[in-house]
Amino acid sequence: MKKVVIEVPKDKSEKIHAKFRDVLYSVSEREQSARFTLYVPDDMLDELIHQTNGSVQKPFRPIWTGLIPDYETGTKEDDRITLIEVSTPDFVISPFVEKIKQQFNSTKKEAIAPIEKIIAATESSAEFDKNKIILAALAGLVALIGLFLNNVGVIIGAMLISPLLGPIYALAVYVAIGDVKTTLRCIEILGLMVFMLVGIAALATFLLSFVVPLSLTPEIVARQDPNAVYILMALLLGFATMTALSEGIPEGIAGVAIAAALLPPAVVTGLSLVLFPEGALRAAILTLQNIVGLIAGSIIGTLFFHIGPRDMFTQGLSRQFITRILWFLTVLIVFLVIVSFLV
């Protein structure tokens, strides 16, 4: 349960009244302002702030003074008496609390997790963790065995234990909130895992070739066939990842991990370097198609579910960051589509 205090100039109070028509609240009038006090469920917080932010604050407008934009908002007088304050009370005893929850559940079919919960769910994936690196290496070896045995069940098991998807949805969340530093760290972690998988697969294949005869199986050949359709599939699965994350459905993320099949093409790239160098490039392109599609789909998902910073100024900066990233990904996707027809 959150306590939300919204104070606005009197001339804007009618807009706030209209926003809270179906919500229980109290209001106190002051000389120049009106103060609204609400107690809302945690899941309702983001929606409430999203609905009222536009009424409380004027949008930031860029003022170009050279190469760097400055920002202006409403008048200084309005700024002094305009605020949104959120706090967590120790406890709330009220007969209306259950009514608020029931009212929220009946008016909103899909409850989106607050941004703090989403960030908390991705923090571990945005940090260098040697245990996850080891887990990725083990998943790669298991996938390698499954590919040589042509065993789909073993390959699926490897995808389930692989942590590759974590840095991708973490990257999308930190792009959405405009955190450039953590976004770059997610890219580094993802790149490290992928290159490590390729290297381990190549080394293991080289060593195994001295022990047992190795040949290309149908499961391996299938991962040497890049196609533009895989990018579309990855876009949809990236969006599905953010849906599962925002709804707090971990099994949904596990399903995406299987459907995305991000691990096998990376492993096939490594083993192809040893057994079939001509197929290594095609497997690498398929790996890149999956990664780029998943990232783009996840970022689009953050926009759809309004995952981002709450304050207006940071929202403006994060939207600029998202726009640049999406333009770059669009160019990369077009390039990969063209390449898939040429190789």
**Residue 37 pLDDT:** 81
Q: Structural domain tally of the chain?
A: 2
CA distances from 110 to 113, 254, 333 (A): 10, 20, 31
**Residue 81 pLDDT:** 58
pLDDT (tens digit per residue) in 239-276: 988 888 887 776 566 666 665 678 999 999 999 999 98
Same domain, 34 and 130: no
Same domain, 82 and 50: yes
Task: Print the domain residue range for 76.
Answer: 2-107
∠ CA(22), CA(25), CA(28), 5° rounding?
A: 135
Of 296 and 312, more confident? 296
Same domain, 325 and 190: yes
Contacts for 212 with CB less than 8 Å, ≥ 6 apart: none
Q: What number of other Cβ atoms are within 10 A of residue 218's Cβ?
A: 8
State residue 29 phi and psi, 5-degree precision: -90, 135
Indicate the pLDDT class of residue 121, thresholds 50, 70 and 90.
confident
**Residue 275 pLDDT:** 92
Same domain, 87 and 133: no
- CATH number of the domain bearing residue 6: 3.30.70.240
Distance CA 216, CA 274 (A): 11
**Residue 74 pLDDT:** 46
Give yes or no for residue 112 having a pLDDT over 90.
no
Domain boundary among 61, 79, 107: 107
Burial class (CB in 10 A: 0-12, 13-18, 19+), 28: exposed
* Torsion sign (Cα): 66, 67, 68, 69: positive
Indicate the pLDDT class of residue 173, thresholds 50, 70 and 90.
very high
Same domain, 154 and 272: yes
Domain boundary among 107, 126, 151: 107
**Residue 73 pLDDT:** 46
Domain boundary among 79, 107, 135: 107
Burial class (CB in 10 A: 0-12, 13-18, 19+), 341: exposed
Same domain, 139 and 187: yes
Same domain, 219 and 259: yes
Q: With CA atoms as reference, report the closest residue to 333 among 294, 279, 282, 283.
A: 294
- CATH number of the domain bearing residue 247: 1.20.1080
Average model confidence (pLDDT) across the chain: 81
